[in-house]
Amino acid sequence: MKTFEGSMTALATPFKNGKLDEDAYRALVDRQVYGGTSVILPIGTTGEAVTMTADERAQTVKVAVEAARGRVPVVAGAGSNSTAETIESVGRVRELGADGALIVTPYYNKPTQFGLLQHFRAIAKAHPGFPLIAYNVPGRTGVDLLPETVMWLCDIPEVVALKEATGNMARAVDLVEKCGDRISLLSGDDFTVLPFIACGGKGVVSVSSNVAPRMMADLVAAARAGDLAKARDLQVQMNALHKLLFVESNPIPVKWALHLMGVFGPEIRLPLTPLSEPQAAKLKEELTRLNLL
């Protein structure tokens, strides 16, 4: 069973005239590979998956897999608030050549902890041997996957990692206490990469690495190697960038940053709108400071 660790990027999705910009997406994948990213994750929150049709999501995963060319693993977002739909989505990304699936906890319908456990059991049973990363982001889903439940998920071989996006370091310690090294614990929060790894995490699923893949890869590598001074310097150096990339709803700022950098155009789908002018000016200033423009 594959494991996923290190600096992992939740890819933004470039659109052009209302459609996936395949050329820009391939270039973005190349940029990530050359920047030291260990795993790419298409069609997650940062990839605007919720505004895409099933066919568009399939096309995006297909292009990501082709562009990666086996150089890095591809883990595709496949979660929904319906277990049956999630099972179908996992099957689709598996057929398209993805190496694993990122499964967000079901949103809106607020399942119990037992319901969450049964959700992941059903997905794993339908796709034996296919790696799954559970994704806990209570701020967006309205449900929290508790450490005690994650401990039960450890009995499901297909669940190989957890993306934990609470930003709570006490939670990280609880997860290590209950799960040990059974699964890879991944920060879902760019602000906490160093402390999360210090608590036992194995990496990050990052938004900021869309913009600065080498800096994030170096930060994760230093933190995992125990080079506290270098990791701290990079965490602090990137702090203002992290703040600006979340000053409005993700992925509004990161897509604007990539536009400013000439990676792809500014197009974003409603109900999200382009970054406001005052914040755009601050972001441009910070990108210049980091020599990213």
Active-site hit among 25, 135, 202, 284: 135
For the chain, report the end-to-end CA distance as a whole number of angstroms. 40
Percent of the chain having pLDDT more than 70?
Answer: 100
Query: In the predicted model, is pLDDT for residue 99 greater than 90?
Result: yes
Active-site hit among 25, 62, 163, 284: 163
The mean pLDDT value for 47-66 works out to 97
Query: In the predicted model, is pLDDT for residue 1 greater than 90?
Result: no
Query: In the predicted model, is pLDDT for residue 250 greater than 90?
Result: yes
How high is the pLDDT of residue 211?
A: 98
Q: Is 34 a catalytic residue?
A: no
CA distance 264 to 251: 14
Question: What does the buried/exposed string (b/e) look like for 250-284 if buried means 16 or more CB atoms within 10 Å of the residue's CB?
Answer: bbbbbbbbbbbbebbeebbeeeeeebeeeebebbb
Query: In the predicted model, is pLDDT for residue 202 greater than 90?
Result: yes
CA distance 223 to 218: 8
The two three-digit tokens of residue 275, written as one number: 């970054």
Cβ burial of 79 (10 Å; 0-12, 13-18, 19+) is: buried
Q: Do residues 213 and 35 touch, judged by C-beta distance below 8 A?
A: yes
The mean pLDDT value for 228-245 works out to 98
Query: In the predicted model, is pLDDT for residue 2 greater than 90?
Result: no
Could you tell me how many helices (H) and strands (E) the chain has, helices first? 13, 10
Q: Is 163 a catalytic residue?
A: yes
Percent of the chain having pLDDT more than 90?
Answer: 99
The two three-digit tokens of residue 70, written as one number: 């086996």
How high is the pLDDT of residue 115?
A: 97
Q: What is the pLDDT of residues 140-187, one digit of tens each?
A: 999 999 999 999 999 999 999 999 999 999 999 999 999 999 999 999
How high is the pLDDT of residue 3?
A: 78
Q: What is the mean pLDDT of the chain?
A: 97
The mean pLDDT value for 16-44 works out to 98
